[in-house]
Amino acid sequence: MSQYLVTGGVPISGKIRASGNKNAALPCIAAAILTDEQVILRNIPDIEDVQVMLDVYRSFGGSVERLDPNSYRLSLGNIKTSKVPLEAAKKIRASILFAGPLLARTGKAVLPPPGGDVIGRRRLDTHFLALTELGAAVSTKRAFTFNAKKLRGADIFLDEASVTATENAVMAAVLAEATTILTNAASEPHVQDLCRMLSSMGAIIEGIGSNILIITGVKKLSGCDFTIGADYMEVGSFIGLAAATRGELVIEGTKPGDLRPAKMAFGKLGITWEHEGTTLRVPKKQAMKVNHDLGGMIPKIDDAPWPGFPPDLTSIVIVVATQVEGTVLVHEKMFESRMFFVDKLIGMGARIVLCDPHRAVISGPAKLAGSELTSPDVRAGMAMVIAAMTAEGSSVIRNVYQIERGYENLVERLSSLGGKITRKG
C-alpha cells in the first residue's frame, strides 16, 4: 500500500496553478454520452477518479484520446452497452452519474450500487425520485435498473438539494420531450459548469446558478469544446495549508466568486487572502486568532449546500483551527462520519472535543507531533497531510490512494513549495 512520508514544521512558500474542478470533470465526462459527436474537455485534473470515469466511458464503446496532460477528446457513436462495470462502480460514487445520460440516449441504464468515500449515509433516493418523475421505471434489486421508452419533462421538486441527483436530472431532461422545472436544485459551481457545457452543446437551460432550473428538451445535442473551471476545494485546501504552516502562497487560475463562502469561514479564524484577477495570494502574516461573534460568543463554522460553506472543506478547517488562537465550534451537518478522523488529530496533540458525530469544539493553538495516520477519504486525507506538515517530527500517512483520487500530482506540487514529503510504494 502506498504511503506518504512527511517531515513537518516547514512553512510552504511559492506559486502553483489551481487544478480543474474534479466535481465538474466527472459529470462532464458522463454528459459526453449525450451526443454522438466529438467532445473536447479541457482543464481536466489528472487524478484517479477521472481515469475511472474515462474507463467507464470506454466500456460503452467510447473513444478517448488524450490531447495533453489535462485535455481529452471523447467520441461515442453507437453505444454497445448500457451497463456500468461493477469494478468501476465500486471505486467511485460518481458512477451514478451515468444513469441520466444513458437513460436519455438509450432508454436504459444498469448500475451497481456506487462506492466512494466512507463519510456516512449518502442516500440515492433523490436520483430515483427525479428520474421516475421524468418517466423512468426503476428497480433496485441487486443492481439499479432504469428503463424508459420515452422521457418527458415534468415539474420536479427535489427532496434535497443533492448535487449528483441534480446533475442526473438535468442530463436526462435535456433530451426529454417538453419542459422540466427542477426546484430545490443544487447550484454549486460544478453544477453550473455542467449546465454551461450542456448549453454549449445546444441544451436549453435557464436559471443556471440558482436553485430553480428550467430545461426545455431538445431532440439532439452537438459536440463541444469546453474548459472546466478551477477546483475551489483544492484551492481552499492549499489556503489552509499555507495558513497552518505559517507560509506564503500564490495560486494562479482561481475564480474569486467560488471562494466567497470559504473566505467568510476562514475569516472567523483570522485568515484571509488577496485576489488580483484570477491570482490569489495568501500572505505570510495572518492574525491566526479566532474572531468572536457579537458579545464575545464562540463562533460557529457550519457547512451547507451552496452558497453555504462547502462540506468538503470542513476537514481542512478543523485542522487549521488547531493552529489558531481561540475556540471555535465546527458543525458538520451533512455527513455523520466525516468527523471521525479527529481522533487522529487528538493523538497528535490537538485539543478537540468531539461532541457528537456532527460537532467538534477546537481550541488552539496546539503543538502537533508527527504520527502514523491512515486516510479514510479524500478530504480527511488532505487534512492529515496538512496536520503532518504542520507537526513537529515525522509522520507516515497510509492509504494515500484516497487522497490522490482528488488531488493532482500532490507530492510533486507540495515539494515544489518546500514541503518535505515523499511517496513510497
Active-site residues, by number, are 117
3-state secondary structure of 67: strand
Buried b (16+ CB within 10 A) or exposed e, 355-393: eeebbbbbbbbbebebbebbbbbbbbbbbbbbbbbbbee
Query: Rounded to 5 degrees, what are φ and ψ at 89?
Result: -65, -35
Dist. CA 51–CA 73, nearest whole Å? 14
The β-bridge relationship of strands 63-68 and 71-75 is antiparallel
Tell me the CA distances in angstroms from 128 to 112, 117, 224, 347, one per residue in order: 14, 21, 29, 42
3-state secondary structure of 135: coil
Q: Which three cell numbers stand for residue 279?
A: 491570482
Dist. CA 98–CA 82, nearest whole Å? 9
Asked if 348 and 318 touch (Cβ cutoff 8 Å), the reply is no
Element (H or E) spanning 26, and its range? helix 22-31
CA angle centred on 238, ends 415 and 276, rounded to 5°: 110
Q: Which three cell numbers stand for residue 49?
A: 477518479
Of the CA atoms within 13 Å of residue 67, those in its CB half-sphere come to: 12
| Burial (0-12, 13-18, 19+ Cβ within 10 Å), 421 | buried
Asked if 268 and 277 touch (Cβ cutoff 8 Å), the reply is no
Buried b (16+ CB within 10 A) or exposed e, 179-207: bbbbebbbbbbbbbbbbbbbbebbbebeb
Dist. CA 213–CA 170, nearest whole Å? 8
